Structures are given as structure tokens and as C-alpha cells.
Amino acid sequence: MSYLQALIIAIVEGLTEFLPISSTGHMMITTAVLGMEVTPFVKLFTIAIQLGAILSVVVLYFKRFFKSVNFYLKLVVAFIPSAIAGVLLGDWIDAQLENVFGVAIALFVGGIILLFVDKWFKNPIIKSEEDISYPSAFKIGLFQCLALFPGVSRSASTIIGGMTQKLTRQAAAEFSFFLAVPTMFAATAKKLLDFYKDGITINSHEIKLLVFGNVVAFVVAVLAIKFFIGVLNKYGFKYFGVYRIIVGGALIILFAMGIKIAVV
């Protein structure tokens, strides 16, 4: 992996991790378009740079992370469903990471759903994570399980899950950001552990790439979060839905024409 490839992938990660457009799906498409061989290190890189994105949430919402014990307990409750599903479906999830056509379908269908989300969930009453009940946190966690399939979007599924529990768009988005911290940290830790178990070593060049990628992902994610909250409050989800439909539709058309974007 070159520094240019690392830069592009990290920018994609930072831009898409917290937007409802699927970071995993976009990174799969990016590596395929770049013609990169998906080596064990490339897989590690695309997951490990999520740590940079995690740090952006902690920095932007620093005070909120140290409010109360209940805050952490709700995150744990919301995290449990995807943690269990991730362990049980680990091999299936890995297999889907090579299914670009599946990503295209998920992007397209998810885009259609986002066009109507604002109309489906009106009159929210919960404006802060402090008012989220434990059962509601668990239900949001169940929605997060949908994102185990690449292309669905962890952000989209958890935000919609929050809105089903009467959260405002901003409250649902922010709880989704907070929930990303334990979820993404666990995913990164698991991948690093798998690396260790497989006896794969990382050389000095790859370590530098990881540091570089995390820094880029952090900076871009900070900007993306601020942008997302602004657009969400002003316009809702419709533009993100249109974007997903365009990208997913374009990929479906390419596949229909026999032009396959393969993960190599």
C-alpha cells in the first residue's frame, strides 16, 4: 500500500463513517476502484483507521463522555446485540466483504428508505441521551445489527433505530456517534487479535501507514460530523438518500452491463 492509497482510503473512512451512506461499502468500492489487492494488512488498515474516527467523536463530545455512569451503561446495553451477532456471524460477515453487488443493492434500497424516514418519524420527544431508556438503548442496538451487512450503514441503521424510539434527528445521530466508540473499538481490537493469532507481523512501513491513516481519518471525521449535523438539522435525510440511490444504482447498472467491480 502506498501513502497515496492510504490517504484516499482514510479520507473515505473519515467522510463516510458517521454519515448514513456506509463507510465499509465505500471502502470496498474504493479499494476495488484503486485495483488494490485486499491483503491481510489492507483489511487491517481499513478497520484500524476507525480508531482515528473514534477519537474525533471523543474530542468533539468530550464533556458528554464524562457526564454519568448511566451514559456508559446505556452504551453497553446498546452495544450488546451487535457484539453477540458479530461473534456468531463472523465468518459470514467476512464473506460479505467481497460482495460488491450486495453493497450496491444495500446502498440503493437504503437510499429509498432514507427518502421517507423524515415523514415516518414525526413529533420526536427525546432530545438528549440522558432521556433514553435502557429498553430503547437495547432496541437501537438491535438496529445496529443490520449494519453487519456491508452497505447498510451503521450510522443509518442506528439513527433510524433511535428515531423509532422518539429521538430527534440530532439526538439519534449523536447517540449513534457515541455508540460507534465501543463498536468500532471492539472491531479494531478483534482484527488486531486475529492478526496476532495468525502470526502476521507488521513492518515499520505499515506502522507508519497506520499512524498516517488514523491522523487523516481523525481530521476528516471531525469535519464530516460537523457537516452532517448541520445538514441533518436543516434538510433531513433526503439528500443522503438521493446520493445512495445514485451510487447504488450506478453500480447495479455496471453489473447489469457485465462490468463487475471486483474486490481482488
Query: Could you identify the residue written with the cell 468530550?
Result: 62
pLDDT in tens, 10-23: 999 999 988 888 88
Give the whole-number percent of the chain exceeding pLDDT 90: 38
Domain that holds residue 109: 3-256
Mean predicted confidence (pLDDT) in 142-163: 90
pLDDT in tens, 62-78: 888 777 788 889 999 99
How much is the pLDDT for 264? 42
264 falls within a domain: no
262 falls within a domain: no
Does residue 96 have a pLDDT over 80?
A: no
Where do runs of H (alpha helix) occur along 145-168? 154-164
263 falls within a domain: no
Residues forming a β-bridge with 126: 167
Cell numbers standing for residue 184: 468500532
Provide the number of structural domains found in the chain: 1
How much is the pLDDT for 235? 87
Length of the chain: 264
Mean predicted confidence (pLDDT) in 96-102: 74
14 falls within a domain: yes
Sign (positive or negative) of CA dihedral 47, 52, 57, 62: positive
Does residue 112 have a pLDDT over 80?
A: yes
Does residue 262 have a pLDDT over 60?
A: no
Judged by DSSP in three states, 144 sits in helix
Query: What residues contact residue 104 under an 8 Å CB cut-off, 6+ apart?
Result: 151, 247, 248, 251, 252, 255
C-alpha torsion 155→159→161→166, nearest 10: 170
Per DSSP, 130 falls in state G
Q: What is the mean pLDDT of the chain?
A: 87
